[in-house]
A and B are shown apart, each in its own frame.
Chain A
Amino acid sequence: MDALWRFLSLQDYNTRVVLAGVCALGAAAGLVGTFLLLRKRSLLGDTLGHATLPGVAGAFLIAHALGWEARSIVLLLGGAAVAGVCGMAAVLAIRRWSHIKDDAALAIVLGVFFGAGVTLVSAVQQLPGGNSAGLDHFIYGKTASMTAADAAFILWASLGVALVCVALFKEFGLLCFDEGFAAAAGWPRRVLDAVLMGLVVVVTVVGLQAVGLLLVVALLVIPPAAARFWSDRLGVMAPVAAGVGAASGFVGVAASAVFPRLPAGALIVLAAAALFAISLAFGAKRGLAIRAFHERRAEQRLRREHLLRAIYECGEDADFPMVALSQISARRPWHPGRLRREVRRAVEDGLVVAAVDGERVQLTKTGMVEARRLVRNHRLWELYLLHHAEVAPGRVDRDADMIEHVLDPRLVDELEHLLDEERRKSFVPLDPERGALPSP
């Protein structure tokens, strides 16, 4: 508890530094990752992260040969960036020159570059001083021991990445949603793609050194995936993703303040995973809960409409007497229990009245208006399918059943107009099977 309080009150200088660095990186990665997710290339960060290894090891080897300070961080990051760009170019080349799918291109570059990296590392380890080169930090990170200089570096880089994203927001959005249109409209599609991937390289390389490969990959993938549950709009999704990234960093660093023995990077990833799980369940736009709710509502509406139509059609020929439930069952393949439940709900809503024994029902005035409208829509639609869509008569009733519930009044008017034009003279016996068209 004490540790948590110390963290929340930001008493430690070290905590402030780590927090600033991690949150900035999380936000930048979330922002860039959003575009990657929409381009279905979330795992690009994974590939580029692994692909930087030969660059780091290669830079070490070259620096060693030239007699420079081989462990200079600028040099190693430079090597990582070069290798990252090479990996990115390789992915783009495979994509352009062959029919190999994107996911395979990512896997190829990942495996091959990492293999080359391991080879070089095994050479580095034979050099004097190579064993303590700290190359492992690049894979697991050393979040907890981030220095102020590291954090400042991350802050500036994240700011730069965010600025580019904001400046090219519209262009990137177009690239994500309609690449064909972007090309046709003369946008430099390939340049934009390369800039986007360049941003991923920057985020990866900056993050690698400070927080490790795993964390960078996770921050590029998880926050955007979580943000996707909250909005369909890019303008909302991108800031949400950045926020989730920053929040994961905050929660993760807080957790590692409480449990100092556990690796901070892994805790940040687990925090992001928890935020993802929450979004998956309760996301406002695509979350499981909200979707289940909408589906339930739609099903209820559908059943209500089926019930009203069935009652109407049963009584249509006889001036709407009480209709027995058994008659309705003949029209709707419902379980008797379900039918009773539906009837009870309709009675509660004042659309239907039931006889005392509960076995017979009749439409109320409101119910009648609603049922007329439904039957009318249904038959108009049947007619439309028969005459305009050339659907086989045997299938018409079923197809009409499926679509009638989504017809909006404007479309109904349009259909009516269309059919009137077609058969202006006669009052049409509109039910293709038998009945007349009920007037609204």
Chain B
Amino acid sequence: MTWTEIDTWIVVTGALIAMACAVPGVFLLLNKQSMLGDAISHAVLPGLAIAFLVSGTRDPGPMLVGAVAAGLFTGVLTEVIHRRGRVDSGAALGVVFCSLFALGLVLIRLAADRVDLDPGCVLYGALETAVVDVGPVPTIAWLSGGMLAANLLLAVLFYKELRIAAFDPALATASGIPARIVTHGLTVVTAVTTVVAFESVGSILVIAMLIVPGATALLLSHRLGVVLIWTLVLAALAAVGGHLAAISVVPAALGQLSGHAALGSVSSAGMMAAFSGLTFFAVLCVARLREGAKRQAVRPPEPVPGT
């Protein structure tokens, strides 16, 4: 295992993206919209395809507009089907994103003569190639850093609104903060973050990083401020640990397993997601054990026979 400048940038960019995703993720968790990230990452496909067909280029500008529009459309359509049609919100989300993804696949096939778009790159992404860039700092690092800064700024500015809308939507609406507007705002932020992130790291890292660090942090604390700080720490940790594992332990182990000792490094983005999952399940087990111990401690004494 040799550490190069590229490794540094992979870790830095991965950490920045993970943290940028994790911030809105905490509020998605609290709003019970956890699957929104997954849904958006599928549903942007028709947005991308239409942006292609209209603009005829693969420039990031039109792509971003198309993807964000598709993301927002997903959020609004789900809301409409959920409220007007009285369909369970999870099912409504499933109906919308499956249909949009299918539409995207059809559109891409229709446009295949004119543009070259590989749905696979949307799914997997390639952090390793994205950071190879001219100049001292890769563009993608700047982009992710900016995204993180923007998300943090929004979270701090609207901290009160986000908190009240997450914990008590009725109270929020009663005190002049329309919870639905907050929800839609969150959807937009999630859509933008998702699109920016998965152009470089693929949707896997986005889905995992939106939810897993936040969920782990919620196991560690019940205070929103503390949860947010833990979330950032855990997201960064996942990036560092994931990449380290991806270039050292995992290829070695898999090489042993498959009988090819000379296996090269594996997908860093995938490993970052897996690492955050390991952290989550470790924390879950520890929390479980401690809770068990606590229960043991407060169990009332055995009743004395004969009383």
Contact = CB atoms under 8 A, between A and B. Distances in A.
Interface of A: 37, 40-43, 46, 61-62, 64-65, 90, 93-94, 97-98, 100-101, 103-104, 106-108, 110-123, 126-127, 136, 139-140, 214, 217-218, 220-222, 224-225, 228-229, 261-263, 265-267, 269-270, 272-273, 276, 280, 286, 288
A366 B188 CA distance: 59
Contacts of B246: 119
Given A112-B212, A262-B110, A286-B86, A118 B32 contact: no
B29 interface: yes
Given A218-B102, A262-B109, A119 B284 contact: no
Contacts of A90: 281
Given A119-B267, A262-B109, A106 B212 contact: no
B165 to A, nearest CB: 16
A111 B204 contact: yes
Please indicate which of the listed interface residues B204, B215, B219 has the most CB atoms of chain A within 10 Å of its own CB: B204
Given A114-B273, A262-B110, A265-B102, A108 B205 contact: no
A100 B33 CA distance: 12
Given A61-B258, A108-B215, A228-B87, A43 B35 contact: yes
Contacts of B258: 61-62, 64-65, 123, 127
A113 B106 CA distance: 28
Nearest to B242: A115
A42 B91 contact: yes
Given A228-B87, A272-B98, 12 more contacts: A43-B35, A97-B288, A108-B280, A110-B35, A110-B207, A111-B211, A111-B212, A116-B270, A118-B269, A119-B250, A214-B102, A269-B98
Nearest to A103: B34
A116 B274 contact: yes
Interface string B185-208: 000000000000000001011011
Contacts, number: 217
B266 A263 contact: no
Contacts of A113: 277
A107 B270 CA distance: 15
A273 B215 contact: no
A214 B212 CA distance: 23
12 contacts: A40-B90, A46-B94, A103-B34, A107-B38, A111-B207, A113-B277, A123-B250, A140-B119, A214-B102, A225-B91, A272-B99, A286-B86
Interface residues of B, number: 69
- The 8 A-B residue pairs with the shortest CB-CB distance, nearest first, are A115-B273, A112-B277, A111-B208, A118-B270, A221-B94, A269-B102, A119-B270, A122-B267
Contacts of A46: 35, 38, 94
Given A100-B218, A111-B277, A263-B109, A270 B267 contact: no
A41 B106 contact: no
Given A111-B207, A269-B98, A118 B267 contact: yes
Contacts of B287: 97-98
A115 B270 contact: yes
A122 B215 CA distance: 27
B305 interface: no
A348 B37 CA distance: 57
A107 B212 CA distance: 8
Nearest to B99: A273
B259 interface: yes
A114 B123 CA distance: 10
Contacts of A101: 29, 32, 34
Nearest to A252: B102
Contacts of B274: 112, 115-116, 119
B276 interface: yes
A41 B91 CA distance: 8
Given A104-B211, A111-B273, A270-B106, A40 B94 contact: no
Nearest to A224: B91
Contact of B33 (A65, A103, A108, A273): A103
A269 B91 contact: no
A68 B77 CA distance: 48
Given A104-B211, A108-B211, A119 B266 contact: yes
Contact of A118 (B124, B218, B257, B277): B124
A214 B288 CA distance: 35
Contact of A222 (B85, B95, B269, B271): B95
B263 interface: yes
Interface in B1-39: 29, 32-35, 37-38
